[in-house]
Amino acid sequence: MAQERPPGGQRVYGGLSPAERVARRREQFLDAAVDVFGTVGWAGSTVADICRAAKLSPRFFYEEFPSRELLFLATTDRVASQVEQVVRDAIATGEGDVQTQARHVLTALAEYFTADPRTVRVALMESLATPEFREQRRLLLSSFVELAARLMRPLRADDPDDTPARERKDLLSAGLLVGGVVEVLIAGATANEAGPRRGPTDLGALAVRRRGAAELVEHLTALFTAAARLEG
């Protein structure tokens, strides 16, 4: 393979500098982690499984991640960063009234999580495996609750002020809504797994059926609006 030595003295292989190769390998391991943890689970996976999925040697793994636990934490960190970017992009559209903007954000989040059920399993299910994972999951869900509360505030037609009591109320309403959404996402991610016969009201069936995501978003938007305007 052709090699070049740039002015800084670092060799370039295949058009990539050493730093770029390290970054690419890291992304390969993170992609592999979503695949492995999201299919066989945390308890059923090994470093060897991750390396096979990434098509990289264990040497490269341990150069980047001292342990499988740190890879898992880095994977869920990436999910959190991706969710944050999804929200920013949706807000940046700036189109329509506040209810329409809230719908944009909810649609973007629904599309992100329903596009790849493995992401849901890693971030919301396998993250219950250890105390450290559970703490990171708690922080992730707390960020979702804070986001939901922020979306509610502009929807208040009669009480635009952010008093401490009103903020606590928004956070409580947001927490209840986020908890319900998490259960729907988990049900959707596991809808195709073997188990008891599922009925027409099963959450998983509702989450993955045709137009399920669109219906979920419309219902969520209505719930967010109603929760934001609750009195008392």
Mean pLDDT split into 10-residue runs, the chain, 232 residues? 49 74 96 97 97 97 97 96 91 79 86 90 96 96 90 70 80 90 87 59 53 73 79 56
pLDDT of the residue at 160: 59
Q: Choose the CATH number for 1-66 among 1.10.10.60, 2.60.40.1840, 2.60.40.650, 1.10.10.10.
A: 1.10.10.60
Residue 12 DSSP label: E
Determine the Cα–Cα distance for residues 177 and 227; give it in Å rounded to an integer. 9
Provide the pLDDT for residue 211: 54
120 vs 8, 41, 135, 185, CA distance in Å?
A: 43, 12, 17, 7
What CA dihedral angle connects 85, 45, 136 and 170, to 10 degrees?
Answer: 70
Q: What beta strand segments (E) does the chain contain?
A: 3-4, 12-13
Domain limits, the chain: 1-66, 68-228
How many angstroms separate the CA atoms of 62 and 57, rounded?
9
Task: Tell me the CATH number for domain 68-228.
Answer: 1.10.357.10
| pLDDT score of 2 | 44
In this prediction, residue 207 carries a pLDDT of 55
Fold match, 1-66 / 68-228: no
Pairing mode, strands 3-4 and 12-13: antiparallel
3-state class of 97 per DSSP?
Answer: coil
Query: What's phi and psi for 13, nearest 5 deg?
Result: -115, 125
Q: What is the pLDDT of residue 99?
A: 80
Q: What is the pLDDT of residue 14?
A: 62
Q: Please list, residue by residue across 191-224, b when 16 or more beta carbons sit within 10 angstroms of its beta carbon and e when fewer do.
A: beeeeeeeeeebbbebbbeeebbeebbeebbebb
pLDDT of 193 reads 66
